[in-house]
Amino acid sequence: MAEIPRKSLSEIIASQIAAQILDGTYKSGYQLPAERDMIKQFGVSRSTLREALKSLEKTNLIDSQHGVGWFVAELNEKNLAQANRMATETDAANAAVRMRITPDDSPDGPKRLPVTPEKPLIIPNLKKDRLGTFSFISWWEREKVENAKVMVVGAGALGNEVIKNLTLMGIGSIFIVDFDTIEMANLSRSVLFRESDSGREKAEIAAARAKDLNPNVHVQYFHGDVTTELGLGIFRRMDVIVGCLDNREARLAVNRFAYWVNKPWVDGAIQEFLGLARVFVPGQGACFECTLTEQARRDLSIRYSCPLLARENVLLGKVPTTPTIASIIAGIQSQEALKIIHDKPIQPGKVIHFNGMTNEVHTTAYTAVEDCESHWTYGDITELPLRADTTTLSDMLEIAHRDLGPDAVLELDQELVL
């Protein structure tokens, strides 16, 4: 039987790091963990670790930046071959290391090198990676964030802050909806707008400024009324909907649309120093419609359109607010959206109240209404390759008869205006 060559401990550590570079744990340009952390990870002395790092440097797998740390070099054919050679020795090296234990009767028990954790700490190159610091968050999953799709309905004071937060966090796709245009009074509460934007569409400008903040984020916008002009196909493509609205009519519409296609949404509201945030998840606790009083339901029958009187301005949502309360509530909304994306625990059907005058925060639970009109979903949805602007009702009925039989009928959620 052939004898397994004996490897020094520094060679074993070097081969393990080489294997981690090959499997993508440490990518080109990434900074390796601090030496003190690797000493704890591998259970070796500083001199042994330094010897391992020096050997990796000689093979051009890593580079040293004085006063900063060790970085993975650009991989090429030559150093990849070296890495493969070293990595093939990892299994034998690990076996050898496992044999290097103190006696079982040691007061502290047998000592082995700790097993490399499933998700080791990765220190990116903070000079090049704009999202690098998020890697230090223990539960942060970059891939989930970069693949997430979030709709923000409303681009006013709250919407500006939410869009800013989502953009800075690197949310992959953001879809902004608003039907309003920018006026000078918006500038005191909207971080994304400028004086030169007066009269332009809020959704368009918010999308453009978000792209300026982070060019890596995919941003789209829709200038229109969410209650009547946005198809459910957009809603069902989202992971989270964030409502930054100023009236019950739009909230009710978003609530029903989200429920119908089984999507969670995060609502926020502000006035002066007061604010609230709440998460609604279909099938989990109360929804927005469950929270409405009889008076609120009667108010919904009123068309909010006259800006001439103070009372009707309040109904329009033109309530006095400050940029500070907008930041606080939008921060909570953004955090809740992030938790949903990461499958972290949330409290659906509950509301967080914030009183900025007294700095009091409390949470209360809503009671779900058993026969709430919002509480139904479409279930399985079959999407057809048709365009809403060219497909007629007779076309749709013909397809329904073809696929479902001659007795199939069309049921519409809303009235049609021809």
Mean pLDDT in residue range 307-326: 60
Instruction: Kindly report which listed range (4-8, 44-48, 172-176) carries the lowest average pLDDT score.
Output: 4-8
Going by pLDDT thresholds of 50, 70 and 90, the confidence category of residue 137 is: confident
Select from 221, 223, 245 the least CA-distant residue to 173.
Answer: 221
Which residue blocks in 151-231 are alpha helix, DSSP H? 157-168, 202-213
Name the average pLDDT for the chain: 84
Q: Are residues 234 and 294 in the same domain?
A: yes
Q: Are residues 237 and 343 in the same domain?
A: yes
Using DSSP, state whether 312 is helix, strand or coil: helix
Mean pLDDT in residue range 41-55: 87
pLDDT digits 0-9 by tens, 341-390: 999 999 999 999 999 999 999 999 999 998 898 998 888 888 887 877 78
In a domain, 1, yes or no: no
Q: Are residues 338 and 311 in the same domain?
A: yes
Percent helix, percent strand, percent coil in the chain, to nearest 5: 40, 15, 45
Is the model more confident about 297 or about 38?
Answer: 38
Q: Are residues 103 and 161 in the same domain?
A: no
Is the model more confident about 236 or about 82?
Answer: 236
Q: Are residues 74 and 211 in the same domain?
A: no
Q: Are residues 62 and 197 in the same domain?
A: no
Instruction: Kindly report which listed range (44-58, 155-169, 334-348) carries the lowest average pLDDT score.
Output: 44-58
In a domain, 371, yes or no: no
Q: Are residues 295 and 401 in the same domain?
A: no
Number of domains the chain contains: 3
The span from the CA of 60 to the CA of 37, in Å, is: 22
Q: Are residues 283 and 414 in the same domain?
A: no
Q: Are residues 328 and 259 in the same domain?
A: yes
In a domain, 189, yes or no: yes
Element counts in the chain: helices (H) and strands (E): 14, 10
Q: Torsion-angle region of residue 38: left (phi > 0), alpha (psi -120 to 50) or beta?
A: alpha
User: Tokens at residue 37, please?
Assistant: 């952390």
Using DSSP, state whether 119 is helix, strand or coil: coil
Mean pLDDT in residue range 276-294: 94
Q: Are residues 220 and 359 in the same domain?
A: yes
Instruction: Kindly report which listed range (86-95, 204-213, 289-298, 354-363) carries the lowest average pLDDT score.
Output: 86-95
Residue pair 159/178 in contact (Cβ under 8 Å)? The answer is: yes
User: From the centroid of its chain, how far is CA 331?
Assistant: 13
Q: Are residues 66 and 146 in the same domain?
A: no
- The pLDDT of residue 378 is 87
pLDDT higher than threshold 50 for residue 4: no
> Which residues form the domain of 274?
142-365
- The pLDDT of residue 13 is 87
In a domain, 134, yes or no: no
In a domain, 376, yes or no: no
The CA-based angle 92-98-103, given to 5 degrees, is: 150
Q: Which phi and psi angles does 45 have, rounded to 5°?
A: -80, 165
Instruction: Kindly report which listed range (74-83, 98-107, 291-300, 371-380) carries the lowest average pLDDT score.
Output: 98-107
The span from the CA of 154 to the CA of 157, in Å, is: 9
